[in-house]
């Protein structure tokens, strides 16, 4: 058993005991009143999930195990002193709650490099059977499901194991799956956009650096950008669609591949991870329709207002929880200013940022008019040469595996049961609040 698993037993067992005692001794305590509005508007703010990896504050943004993004940029191990932290370190932090040492990060990097070699050949056959113009998220999700033939959890479950040990093969499956996602993502990228001209992994590179390398973007800057991208998209508490879907499906003891694939199907929605691609469509359509490369603020305003008049959303803006500019937006803008200060797409994204919040506020209904992570991520990737927009949500998905699959390991460590909320019909709700037609 590796030392991380030993650590998880040490940390996880007492926590599982606490969960049991909470249910037994305090299970009938009311923790929150639920309003009809909450139920009917996507359960916003309804406390109903147990997640330890990260916490989202409406004003401040995300904290991973208590640390903000700027704090982690200082505290997590990096390759270059002025570089971005290695996502391996963030994974270790989310999993154990402790800041990693350089040795911890190297251990995970090596583990992932070794495990990445185990992708069975049928996974590539399955991808190759799909048309090349199938959206990369279709290819990505299909590959994830195809990899579930390797599920260690499924095999262990069939042998008949003790419930409290389920987390062990879940951990193994998660480590396998995370290690293989960059290889799959790069394979799809090269298949669709680079004439099937594939690039082997470099065993000396870290997980995110290798992804950039296998995609064919080998510069130091793109590797740094990929580390940043993989960190900031990794986790956003438990209630976002990709995390919640992974957790929900996992609660049926579906293996990590099934569970993660469910999360990725959610990520592929335009209100969630697909927004990064849609932002680029929106920007390019704007430039095309206005007819100039560098539209003025007045022209952007008019275009944004037309989008709203058509009953469409402005992608990259708004959030179900956040009520301020997303710190994941800010950190990307800072990166762009440092490494690509003159990139036209970044300047355009900044101009949109000046104009769009006021327009959204003026609707009187948008609760958060500020940019989210997707408002700039595509402009940034594009400015560094990754111009093929349909791959952006796949990259988001590779990153998201770090958080949601850590949450899945913790679901098993806590011993959480099958999720099964109660549903009611419309008449029940009308009756409950005394509504009369
Ligand atoms: N453009 C136009 N209208 C918007 C809007 C936007 N960017 N954001 C919210 N609204 C609208 C909603 O559609 C809703 O309209 P109706 O009352 O007519 O249905 C109203 O404002 C209230 O919505 P809200 O409570 O402010 O927002 P929600 O919590 O329901 O939705 C989100 C949040 C992200 C889905 C929404 O802001 C949105 O659609 N944004 C654009 C898509 C996007 O960027 N998604 C990525 C989010 C981050 C991620 O997961 O990656």
Residue nearest to atom 12 of ligand 1 (CA): 366
Distance 144 CA to ligand 1 centre (A): 29
The model's pLDDT over 81-111, given as tens digits with 9 standing for 90+, comes to 889 999 999 999 999 999 999 999 999 999 9
Cβ of 320 below 6 Å from ligand 1: yes
Residue nearest to atom 49 of ligand 1 (CA): 272
Residues identified as active-site: 272, 319, 374
pLDDT of residue 151: 94
Question: Do 57 and 94 belong together in one domain?
Answer: yes
Question: Do 171 and 302 belong together in one domain?
Answer: no
Mutate to test the pocket of ligand 1, among 313, 326, 355, 397 (most ligand atoms within 8 A of CB): 313
Residue nearest to atom 39 of ligand 1 (CA): 271
Distance 369 CA to ligand 1 centre (A): 9
Question: Do 240 and 363 belong together in one domain?
Answer: no
Question: Do 402 and 347 belong together in one domain?
Answer: no
Query: Residues of the chain with pLDDT > 70: what percent?
Result: 100
Cβ of 243 below 6 Å from ligand 1: no
Tell whether 431 is covered by a domain: no
CATH number at residue 280: 1.10.230.10
The model's pLDDT over 15-32, given as tens digits with 9 standing for 90+, comes to 999 999 999 999 999 999
Question: Do 2 and 78 belong together in one domain?
Answer: yes
Burial 248-280 (b: 16+ CB within 10 A, else e): bbbbebbbbbbbbbbbbbbbbeeebbbbbbbbb
Query: Rounded to an integer, what distance in angstroms lies between the CA atom of residue 96 and that of residue 101?
Result: 12
Cβ of 224 below 6 Å from ligand 1: no
Distance 124 CA to ligand 1 centre (A): 37
Residue nearest to atom 50 of ligand 1 (CA): 272
Distance 117 CA to ligand 1 centre (A): 40
Of ligand 1's atoms, which has the minimum distance to the CA of residue 241? 50
- Mean pLDDT over 110-129 rounds to 97
Question: Do 12 and 148 belong together in one domain?
Answer: yes
Point out which residues pair with 62 in neighbouring strands.
Answer: 56
Question: Do 44 and 158 belong together in one domain?
Answer: yes
The model's pLDDT over 147-185, given as tens digits with 9 standing for 90+, comes to 999 999 999 999 999 999 999 999 999 999 999 999 999
Question: Do 234 and 360 belong together in one domain?
Answer: no
The kind and range of the H/E element at 344 are helix 344-362
pLDDT of residue 46: 96
Give Cα 217 distance to the centre of its chain. 22
Of ligand 1's atoms, which has the minimum distance to the CA of residue 396? 51
The model's pLDDT over 274-312, given as tens digits with 9 standing for 90+, comes to 999 999 999 999 999 999 999 999 999 999 999 999 999
Tell whether 169 is covered by a domain: yes
Tell whether 432 is covered by a domain: no
Of ligand 1's atoms, which has the minimum distance to the CA of residue 272? 50
pLDDT of residue 104: 98
* Reported confidence tier of residue 1, pLDDT bands at 50, 70, 90: confident
Of ligand 1's atoms, which has the minimum distance to the CA of residue 312? 2
Residue nearest to atom 9 of ligand 1 (CA): 366
Q: What are the tokens at 364?
A: 């009187």
Give the three-state DSSP class for 370.
coil
pLDDT of residue 131: 98
Question: Do 180 and 307 belong together in one domain?
Answer: no
Question: Do 153 and 207 belong together in one domain?
Answer: yes
Distance 197 CA to ligand 1 centre (A): 39
pLDDT of residue 437: 84
Distance 49 CA to ligand 1 centre (A): 22
280 and 258 in contact (C-beta within 8 Å)? no
Residue nearest to atom 10 of ligand 1 (CA): 366
Tell whether 424 is covered by a domain: no
Query: Rounded to an integer, what distance in angstroms lies between the CA atom of residue 296 and that of residue 303?
Result: 11
Question: Do 195 and 296 belong together in one domain?
Answer: no
Distance 319 CA to ligand 1 centre (A): 6
Range of the domain at 329: 275-383
CATH number at residue 222: 1.10.580.10
Of ligand 1's atoms, which has the minimum distance to the CA of residue 367? 26
| Domain count across the chain | 2
Q: What pTM does this model have?
A: 0.98
Question: Do 88 and 237 belong together in one domain?
Answer: yes
pLDDT of residue 314: 98
Tell whether 130 is covered by a domain: yes
- Mean pLDDT over 219-241 rounds to 97
384 and 168 in contact (C-beta within 8 Å)? no
Query: Rounded to an integer, what distance in angstroms lies between the CA atom of residue 239 and that of residue 226?
Result: 25
Query: Rounded to an integer, what distance in angstroms lies between the CA atom of residue 119 and that of residue 201?
Result: 13
Task: Indicate the residue among 367, 383, 399 that finishes a domain.
Answer: 383
Tell whether 16 is covered by a domain: yes
Tell whether 94 is covered by a domain: yes
Tell whether 423 is covered by a domain: no
């Amino acid at each position: 058993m590796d030392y991380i698993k030993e650590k998880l037993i040490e940390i996880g067992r007492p926590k599982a005991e606490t969960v049991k005692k909470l249910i037994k001794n305090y299970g009938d305590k009311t923790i929150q009143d639920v309003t009809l509005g909450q139920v009917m508007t996507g359960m916003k703010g309804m406390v109903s999930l147990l997640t330890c990896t990260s916490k989202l504050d409406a004003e401040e943004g995300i904290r991973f195990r208590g640390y903000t993004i700027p704090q982690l940029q200082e505290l997590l191990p990096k390759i270059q002193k002025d570089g971005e932290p290695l996502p391996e370190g963030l994974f270790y932090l989310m999993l154990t709650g402790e800041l990693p040492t350089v040795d911890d990060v190297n251990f995970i990097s090596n583990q992932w490099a070794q495990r990445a070699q185990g992708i069975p050949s049928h996974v590539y056959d399955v991808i190759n059977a799909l048309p090349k113009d199938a959206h990369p998220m279709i290819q990505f999700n299909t590959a994830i499901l195809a990899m579930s033939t390797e599920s260690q959890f499924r095999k262990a479950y069939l042998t008949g194991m003790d419930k409290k040990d389920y987390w062990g093969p879940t951990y193994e499956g998660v480590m396998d799956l995370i290690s293989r996602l960059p290889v799959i993502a790069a394979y799809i990228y090269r298949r669709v956009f680079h004439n099937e001209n594939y690039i082997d992994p470099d065993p000396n590179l870290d997980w995110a650096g290798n992804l950039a390398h296998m995609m064919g973007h080998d510069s130091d800057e793109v590797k740094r950008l990929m580390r940043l991208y993989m960190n900031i998209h990794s986790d956003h508490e438990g209630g976002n669609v990709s995390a919640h879907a992974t957790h929900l499906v996992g609660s049926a003891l579906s293996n990590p591949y099934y569970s993660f694939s469910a999360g990725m199907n959610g990520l592929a929605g335009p209100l969630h991870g697909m927004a990064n691609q849609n932002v680029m469509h929106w920007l390019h359509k704007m430039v095309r329709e206005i007819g100039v490369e560098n539209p003025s603020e007045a022209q952007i305003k008019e275009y944004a207002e037309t989008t709203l008049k058509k009953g469409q959303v402005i992608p990259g803006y708004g959030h179900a929880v956040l009520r301020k500019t997303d710190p994941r937006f800010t950190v990307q803008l800072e990166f762009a200013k440092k490494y690509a200060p003159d990139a036209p797409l970044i300047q355009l994204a900044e101009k949109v940022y000046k104009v769009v919040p006021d327009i959204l506020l003026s609707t009187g209904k948008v609760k958060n008019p500020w940019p989210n992570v997707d408002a700039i991520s595509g402009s940034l990737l594009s400015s560094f040469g990754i111009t093929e927009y349909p791959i952006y949500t796949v990259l988001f998905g590779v990153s998201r595996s770090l958080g949601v699959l850590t949450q899945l390991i913790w679901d098993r460590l806590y011993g959480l049961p099958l999720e099964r909320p109660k549903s009611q019909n419309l008449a029940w709700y009308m009756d409950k609040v005394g509504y009369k037609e």
